[in-house]
Structure 1
């Protein structure tokens, strides 16, 4: 089904849950994310080295592989999960919670990063998934070196994403800013990569080249 994501946007902040406690769990800030996710990544790397017995070379190699694999996951999740929506009410609600609210309120700064509680819950599910896959392959111990890289890739992506919404683009990275801006305000069914454009080029979802010459602003 073709993604149905609005190109209309509003100023202010979305209201996702009526319950104040649940609503608070949908918000975060950069310092909170750096501390919580940073400690999680360091703990996993330490565990991989001290308890699992992976060598520094193995950890570095698996870490880099995990970061690269995240770029693929970033594209696939954005395109096929965050932009998945049907006529069903539950589907529309799921979409709004996961991504739709961001398209309606792209300057909602407290929701430009994944909050720690839902973030760690999803990370746990993903880790178990990767662990099972590695276990089937007979190399379950390598998941402890791979996942910190995958998680770090997500963390780097999330801060790039936040920067595209709250900062003026550095000259060297202007194309990344513009790429994400085009996704929000002109082509919601294209430009799914946020931290890079590699997979958009691979899968043919780059915006028309003529659009690059037109000024796009994050409002």
Structure 2
């Protein structure tokens, strides 16, 4: 993906890395918050799930409006290729199925910094942890969807949902860890016409390989 060997190496990550990095970090942060009295079990029980829901909304918006935004010039198209286009061309590249730390850490710092400025650590600390846990679930589900054979009905439906995004309609099915956000947003569904055109007349064929990270 990169001509520079250092950038190429940084763009690859073992799927266990996000969990080994963020798991102990967030558990330690939550433990410290509870021990130091910065937050409580009851407040955490409310705000961690709110953080998870916030990540689901972020996941959908980032995927739909940033990852699939190509812009009009060579810079924006190259940015799209690096951020997401490569994944659609090579969806089975297992070293690029989770987000590298070089991308996720700045995002975590930005979100954490904004919440720190808001104050109210009793609420914002577990809220931040919920967002990070939502991201970790997203990374695991995305890796599993590509790399493992689903055994449950839910897993099979989610895999079909995501594979339709890759191989049939890259302009639909933006939810990765779930399908219900697409249902709410009206952006779910398979190819709508066998002729390779969607309902608006645009080409609905996949990006890249046979044309194929979501």
Q: What TM-score do you get using the length of structure 1 for normalisation? A: 0.81
Task: Give the 3 Å change call, closer, same or farther, for CA 58–99 of structure 1 in structure 2.
Answer: same
Aligned: 1:27 with 2:8:
no
SS of equivalent residue, structure 2 residue 16 = helix
**Gapped regions of structure 1 (runs ≥ 5):** 1-14, 212-218
Structure 1 segments (4+ residues) deviating >6 Å: none
Distance 1:64 1:207 in 2: 27
Cα–Cα, structure 1 residues 210 and 189, in superposed 2: closer, same or farther, change >3 Å?
A: closer
Q: Structure 2 CA distance, aligned partners of 1:27 and 1:52?
A: 39
Ranges in structure 2 where 5+ consecutive residues have no aligned partner: 194-211
Residues 98 and 117 of structure 1: CA distance in aligned 2, closer, same or farther (over 3 Å): same
- 1:114-171 Cα shifts (integer Å, max 9, x gaps): 1223221221112223444xx2xx6355221101111101101111111111111223
Secondary structure of 2:11's aligned partner: coil
Length-normalised TM-score, structure 2: 0.83
What's 1:96 paired with?
Answer: 81
Alignment correspondent of 1:3 = none
2:142 is matched with 161
1 or 2 for the larger relative contact order (CA 8 Å, sep ≥6)?
Answer: 1
Matched, 1:200 2:185: no
2:94 corresponds to 1:125:
no
Asked whether 1:111 is paired with 2:84, we answer: no
CA contact (8 A) 2:38 2:121 kept: no
Per the alignment, residue 63 of structure 2 pairs with 78
